Amino acid sequence: MLDITHEKCPMTFVRTRLALDGMAQGGLLAVRLKGEEPHKNVRRSVLALGHSILSEQAEEDGSVVLTILKKDPAPAG
């Protein structure tokens, strides 16, 4: 799990993107974040890159865990 609860924007998405870039297509990444702005920005940016958000789980400490599915590569041709 990638914990970015102590990061500030834009580092919240930078760290998320680096983690996604290091994963194989079809991989799952759980990201723990805190605050409305990081939640909104990371969510929007992940979707804009074509990845999917499978779940958003609110935690007791006020954080949110996003489960992200890394997009498959575009078909050749």
Q: Are residues 36 and 46 in contact, defined by beta-carbon separation less than 8 angstroms?
A: no
Q: Which fold has domain 2-69?
A: Translation Initiation Factor IF3 (3.30.110)
Q: What is the pLDDT of residue 74?
A: 62
Give the residue extent of every domain in the chain.
2-69
Q: What is the pLDDT of residue 50?
A: 96
E-strand stretches of the chain: 2-3, 28-34, 52-58, 63-69
d(CA 27, CA 9): 24
Q: What is the pLDDT of residue 75?
A: 61
Q: Per-residue pLDDT for the chain (77 aa), expressed as one digit of tens each?
A: 999 999 998 999 999 999 999 999 999 999 999 999 999 999 999 999 999 999 999 999 999 999 999 998 666 55
Q: Which of helix, strand or coil describes residue 53?
A: strand
Q: What is the pLDDT of residue 77?
A: 55
pTM > 0.85: yes
Residue 2: how many other CB atoms lie within 10 Å: 18
